[in-house]
Chain A
Amino acid sequence: MIPTAFDYRRATSVAEALALLQEGGPEAKLLAGGHSLIPMMKQRLAEPGLLIDIGGLDELRGIEEQDDGDIAIGAAMTHAEIAASELLRAQAPIVAETAAAIGDAQVRNRGTIGGSLAHADPGADLPAVMVALDATIAILGPNGDRQVAAEDFFQDILTVDLEEGEIVTGVCFAPCRSAAYAKLEQRASKFALVGVAAALTLDGGSCSSARVAVTGASSHAQRLGGVEDALAGASLPDGAASAAAGAGDGLEFVNEDLHGSEGYRRAMTAVFARRAIEAAAGRG
């Protein structure tokens, strides 16, 4: 529980953070809430030579409705702040509720949405929500800014579409009331053993289209295409169970550990897909 030696710099602007990242090269790591990075450093699973603290940067803060009606969340917003946001509670309650269900109070008070997305723990909750909401991840790097769709951003275990020297600056998504997230907690870590986010487009009692994403069960957050297809045109909530029934079967790779075997996680993917769909439909 004692990290190796490292340097620490607190950036005063995103521009300075980018410059420091450039300067530091592969040794440099960004620090925001530190609730993924610091435990890894204490276990010496990560040994960065330089920490660049971007946690307090005003440029990375804020939860705002943009001119086009989309909602943008700054990367440095904590889970607790997201959970408390009136805007999110009204326009995208899935985001506030998911943030409120992350870890424990200490984690929520320190951990940030940008950190969670960039770190991409296979059991993190927010990645599935962002994929289901078809969110865009905003990235700033030495060559300017770019936007990546969430479903393309998450690539593999702890692996995202982020080049060396780049910073996640925020996320942006369209408001969506009929969306919900349901998870089975890993009892020690409170990460998702299986978590499913469902965002539905409802037309009366039926679902015209859906985006459904899973986290925890597999290496990274990803869409459950089979469930989405089955939901198109389904009447809800009655059709939720049959649409979700095969949710786990389509997953190519399923995690397995002390807390859940592959078979259990596949089965739970179907259970939590159905629960998420039912909850989302209930919001219609």
Chain B
Amino acid sequence: MTTVDGPVLPKLIGERVKRREDPRLIQGQATYVDDIKLPGMLHLAFKRSDIAHGIIQSIDTSAAEAMEGVELVITGAELAEHLGPMPIGTPFPAPDHYSVATDRVRYVGEPVAVVVAEDRYLARDAADAIEVEYEELPAVVDPEAAMEPGSTTLHEGFERNIAVESYWGGTGVNPETAQPEDDSAVDAAFAEADVVVTQRMLNQRLAPNAMEPRGVVAHYEPGREYLTVWSATQNPHILRTLVAALMGLGEHQVRAVAPEVGGGFGCKINIYGEEYAAAALSRLVKAPVKWIEDRTEAFLTTTHGRDLLGYIDLAAKSDGTITGLKARIIADIGAYEVLLTAMIPTLTGLMMNGVYRLPVVRHELTEVFTNKTPTDAYRGAGRPEGLYFLERAVDMLARELDMDPGEIRRKNFVPADEFPFATQGGLVYDSGNYEPCLDKALEVADWQGLLAERDAARAEGRIVGVGLAFYVEVCGLGPSAVVPTGGWEHSGVTVERGGKVTATTGASPHGQGNETTFAQMLADHFSIPLEDITILHGDTSVVKQGIGTFGSRSQAVGGAALISAAGKAGDKMKQFAAALMTDQEVSPEDLVFEDGRIQVEGAPEVSKTFAEVADFAYVPVPLPPGMEPGISEEAFFEPENNTYPFGCHISMVEMDRETGETKLLKLIAVDDCGNVINPLIVEGQVHGGLAQGIGQAMFEEVVYDEDGQPVTASFMDYVMPRAADLPTFELDRTVTTTPINPLGAKGVGEAGTIGSTPCVVNAAVDALSPFGVTHIEMPLRPERVWRLIQENGGQS
């Protein structure tokens, strides 16, 4: 066989390639919103409500206006002349919600006025100098009390504070009408059940706490009638669409840029009042303006996550076969509906089918306004809530029937041969193979060994428990039918002169590592070195179209678009290559990319280098018939369905009998996210997700007092998990590919937050079960655990 000179390029898909992003991030060489400084830039500070609920009587801005260097002080009512109510991204009815409150405040932290000043410090001083008088109204804090007739209402037209009510149930949903088919079957199933477990559970309110708070720079250029907005956002294209709409501009007049973004976890999907206000104020003062959120503002005003109360009933036969599920869910959505607020809790019910065959389901959902910060997506966004309720209930059932938690799940699994599987909620799981995943988790954890270890510890008087949870989640959002912004993704691939490649993606990352994984995919596709590839993202003037990064969609949707665009670019490369090889009568179909060359398959001597072909494409003399010069292709990818990754998490905890402190001893996560592009990045995603899922189980909670005052508005009171709180995670995988995209990749960004939370609480309940405990609410506060132990006299 003839060989040619040049290095052999190893395939990179599936390899543990280190993140190319990290050197600049950890060396302070990255550009975040706060690093953007424009000539003549002014700074914003928001005057915020310090009460939970009240009518604005008066706002005295005179002292603020008198300060030297203050350019403008504007109240919400005045700003409303320039900005209408903010759009939302769900089809549900919603009350008007202005960027800055116009007449009434509904949560602590809601803005009531804005200062534009020469520097940030002055702006803040001026905001403090604004005097606001309120007529205080009773704070609505408890969502169940909020639904009582006669309760104080937050919004006119939303009686009993109810924002959304939905109901479905029966033996299934008719896919034609989306209506429940037969609800009487639910009552019958429960009447006939051998055993029913019933539990009220709170999936508590959380603060997302991205390391980088929110921030925005807006620059409206009146001469060009053109607005540029830099924002710490997960989705610059959606930002562009919505800001343009509210500003009365076309999308062609707005450029949105997400520079480096320091984490989002869902809270940076929403387009916030501060972003709209910055855009409007830049136009008003004819200067660029900047606002950077501080940590207190982040706790008070960045959307919170979760806060669902579940009344769960699970019916079963005595052999452990689940025969029915009833879930009544009350979502405390806070004071307003923002972009996806009302949609998130609807995912909870849909995903409560879990990995099981459920003959009948009844699902009731009520979303309720309260005087708290609005909720929206938070890592997992609806799935952790649903899987928590379900996996806690299944665990209670196992305990009730004295069955092994793994075996009761195995008994009820959707069998591998029933995929694609239609759930009671009307979803169609693309693929699944649950038993091997369970088996692997049991094996990696040494489940029998863990049980023996637990029992030995108990014999020594220690309080030790083990827990298991099995989840399925929904990833790869789209399709467009279920995502109001569109559920596709866009990508562009340009082969530059010299053979380097620039690609763009609309899946704007904020920590996911797409610059690495996408480059791995292109490196393999074109058989060129990783260093020859640049991935651009986050700027709507560079990335022609896009949706963004949320719902674990980067790889499953964004990656699929990339591969499609790369396919088109590759085809054109082959045509140019064939044209360069006319003397050898080569057809483009015979060509493959191999080690930096384009060659006839199996005949490397019949080849051109990738660079030669690229150069020819830009100076095509003679231009091959029917071709245009250059290689710059793009593609949209519209998924036909979501993907449904799954996994099994196992944990072991120990509690201090005297103090109630819980220590997480072990956490084993076996996740199946389909094909893996980069195991290092997948494991990093799982690690971060686990920390947040464990954070919910053990540490985190946003708490309000009876007046609607937040009592956890700083890291002195909001308990974030720290590295020392976590054990070394033991990870493994099974691989069940998806037919939904050409990569076979399902998505992994949120998996860690979904299985770990019920798994840890299940372990805690197991630990406390000798004390007669059947449920404990999250987080596992030491005092909460201690009281449960004390109630049983401290003795197991």
B window 153-176: CB within 8 A of A: none
Given A258-B703, A271-B658, answer yes or no on A188-B715 (Cβ-Cβ < 8 Å).
yes
Verify B783–A43 contact, CB threshold 8 A: no
B783 is contacted by which of A1, A5, A188, A260 (Cβ under 8 Å)?
Answer: A260
A44 contacts chain B at the CB level, 8 A cutoff = yes
Residues of the B chain whose Cβ atoms lie less than 8 Å from the Cβ of A43: 296, 714
Q: Name the interface size band of chain A.
A: 20 to 34
Verify A188–B719 contact, CB threshold 8 A: yes
The residue in chain B whose Cβ has the minimal distance to the Cβ of A43 is B296
Given A44-B128, A188-B717, A188-B719, answer yes or no on A264-B294 (Cβ-Cβ < 8 Å).
no
Complex formed: what's the CA distance from A17 to B794 in Å? 55
A40 CB, min distance to chain B CBs, angstroms: 11
Residues of the A chain whose Cβ atoms lie less than 8 Å from the Cβ of B716: 39, 188-189
Q: DSSP class of B's interface residues: helix, strand, loop or mixed?
A: loop
A2 is contacted by which of B124, B658, B786 (Cβ under 8 Å)?
Answer: B124
Complex formed: what's the CA distance from A5 to B125 in Å? 9
A81 CB, min distance to chain B CBs, angstroms: 22
B587 contacts chain A at the CB level, 8 A cutoff = no
B window 187-210: CB within 8 A of A: none
A268 contacts chain B at the CB level, 8 A cutoff = yes
Given A1-B295, A187-B719, A189-B716, answer yes or no on A268-B659 (Cβ-Cβ < 8 Å).
yes
Report the tally of A-B residue pairs with Cβ distances under 8 A. Answer: 49
A window 253-281: CB within 8 A of B: 257-261, 264, 267-268, 271
Contact with B along A226-241 (1 / 0, CB 8 A): 0000000000000000
B274 CB, min distance to chain A CBs, angstroms: 15
B46 contacts chain A at the CB level, 8 A cutoff = no
A4 contacts chain B at the CB level, 8 A cutoff = yes
Contact with A along B321-341 (1 / 0, CB 8 A): 000000000000000000000
The residue in chain B whose Cβ has the minimal distance to the Cβ of A5 is B121
Residues of the A chain whose Cβ atoms lie less than 8 Å from the Cβ of B715: 188-189
The residue in chain A whose Cβ has the minimal distance to the Cβ of B660 is A264
Complex formed: what's the CA distance from A110 to B543 in Å? 45
Complex formed: what's the CA distance from A184 to B783 in Å? 11
A188 is contacted by which of B128, B295, B718, B786 (Cβ under 8 Å)?
Answer: B718
Residues of the A chain whose Cβ atoms lie less than 8 Å from the Cβ of B294: 1-2
Residues of the B chain whose Cβ atoms lie less than 8 Å from the Cβ of A187: 699, 719, 782
Verify A261–B296 contact, CB threshold 8 A: no
B410 contacts chain A at the CB level, 8 A cutoff = no
A55 CB, min distance to chain B CBs, angstroms: 22
Given A1-B296, A2-B121, A271-B658, answer yes or no on A189-B717 (Cβ-Cβ < 8 Å).
yes
The residue in chain A whose Cβ has the minimal distance to the Cβ of B293 is A1
The listed residue with most B CB atoms (<10 A of its CB), out of A43, A44, A264, A267, is A264
Complex formed: what's the CA distance from A187 to B722 in Å? 10
Complex formed: what's the CA distance from A104 to B699 in Å? 17
Residues of the B chain whose Cβ atoms lie less than 8 Å from the Cβ of A1: 294-296
B659 CB, min distance to chain A CBs, angstroms: 6
Complex formed: what's the CA distance from A14 to B238 in Å? 58
B132 contacts chain A at the CB level, 8 A cutoff = no
Residues of the A chain whose Cβ atoms lie less than 8 Å from the Cβ of B658: 271
Residues of the B chain whose Cβ atoms lie less than 8 Å from the Cβ of A104: 722
B603 contacts chain A at the CB level, 8 A cutoff = no
B282 contacts chain A at the CB level, 8 A cutoff = no
Given A2-B294, A188-B717, A188-B719, answer yes or no on A258-B659 (Cβ-Cβ < 8 Å).
no
B720 is contacted by which of A2, A188, A257 (Cβ under 8 Å)?
Answer: A188
The residue in chain A whose Cβ has the minimal distance to the Cβ of B128 is A44
The listed residue with most B CB atoms (<10 A of its CB), out of A1, A5, A260, A261, is A1
A window 184-214: CB within 8 A of B: 184, 187-189
Verify B781–A259 contact, CB threshold 8 A: yes
Complex formed: what's the CA distance from A188 to B695 in Å? 12
B711 contacts chain A at the CB level, 8 A cutoff = yes
The residue in chain B whose Cβ has the minimal distance to the Cβ of A188 is B719
Complex formed: what's the CA distance from A264 to B294 in Å? 34
Complex formed: what's the CA distance from A217 to B714 in Å? 21
Verify B718–A264 contact, CB threshold 8 A: no
B712 contacts chain A at the CB level, 8 A cutoff = yes
The listed residue with most A CB atoms (<10 A of its CB), out of B120, B714, B782, is B782
The residue in chain B whose Cβ has the minimal distance to the Cβ of A193 is B782
Verify B781–A2 contact, CB threshold 8 A: no
Residues of the A chain whose Cβ atoms lie less than 8 Å from the Cβ of B712: 258
B window 703-756: CB within 8 A of A: 703, 711-712, 714-720, 722
Contact with A along B675-715 (1 / 0, CB 8 A): 00000000000000000000000010001000000011011
The listed residue with most B CB atoms (<10 A of its CB), out of A104, A261, A271, is A271
Complex formed: what's the CA distance from A259 to B722 in Å? 17
The listed residue with most A CB atoms (<10 A of its CB), out of B125, B716, B787, is B716
Complex formed: what's the CA distance from A4 to B120 in Å? 11
Verify A264–B711 contact, CB threshold 8 A: no
The residue in chain B whose Cβ has the minimal distance to the Cβ of A274 is B658
The residue in chain A whose Cβ has the minimal distance to the Cβ of B783 is A264
A1 CB, min distance to chain B CBs, angstroms: 4
Contact with A along B121-154 (1 / 0, CB 8 A): 1001100100000000000000000000000000
Contact with B along A1-26 (1 / 0, CB 8 A): 11011000000000000000000000
A35 CB, min distance to chain B CBs, angstroms: 12
Given pairs A259-B717, A271-B659, 4 additional interface contacts (CB within 8 A): A187-B699, A257-B717, A258-B717, A260-B782
In the complex, 8 of the A-B residue pairs with CB atoms within 8 angstroms, ordered by the A residue number, are A1-B296, A187-B719, A188-B718, A188-B719, A189-B716, A189-B717, A257-B717, A268-B659
**Which B positions have Cβ atoms within 8 angstroms of A?**
120-121, 124-125, 128, 294-296, 658-659, 661, 699, 703, 711-712, 714-720, 722, 781-783, 786-787
User: Shortest 3 CB-CB distances between A and B: which pairs?
Assistant: A1-B294, A188-B719, A2-B124
